[in-house]
Amino acid sequence: MAGARTTLLVLAAIALLLQAAPASARRSNTKYKKAAVKKICKATSFPDVCFKTAGKHVKEYRTVDPLSVLHAQVDAFSKRAGAARNRVATKLRRASPAARVALTLCGKFYLDVQDNLGACRRAIRHKDAVTIRATMGMAAQDMINCDEQFRQVGEKKNPLARVNQSLGKMAEVCRSLSNMI
């Protein structure tokens, strides 16, 4: 009886150790991954934008390399472009007639960005850096086109200017990352 009880206690202690080890290993692994993301992002055109967006998603990837950071950037870009479309919908309610025209076109440009990001995701799977750069170039151009619409209709202020600037930086980060694959 005493031998069985001792064996059971030893097995319980081993089980506890095995449960505790993965948590500490995960913490150090996440720390390593964040350091790797930071190193990769330093080589991009906007390191701070790169790290802020990719650093949040580091846990989702087994390995951290330029391809996984690029994938995280494209996912973040897609989320922000979707948020930009939602912002267009809210701004339309209070916009002048001229601004409505520009906002409606910007909404279409953001849809185009989503299409380009889909093509970019497919290119990532094939490690096709040329297509990635081309789709990011088109996405960046969509932001410029949105800004231009406000100038063309005579609006002094573009309510999407900061969003477009942020998305433009993300496109440049993706282009920089595509040069690393």
Per-residue pLDDT tens digits for 98-133: 999 999 999 999 999 999 999 999 999 999 999 999
Delineate the domains of the chain, giving CATH numbers in brackets: 2-178 (1.20.140.40)
| pLDDT at position 38 | 95
- Side chain identity at residue 75, one-letter code: D
The whole-model pTM stands at: 0.81
**153-174 tens-digit pLDDT:** 999 899 999 999 999 999 999 9
| pLDDT at position 160 | 96
Residues 49, 86, 134, 125: what is their CA dihedral angle, to the nearest 10 degrees? 80
Report whether 102 contacts 138 (CB < 8 A). no
| pLDDT at position 56 | 82
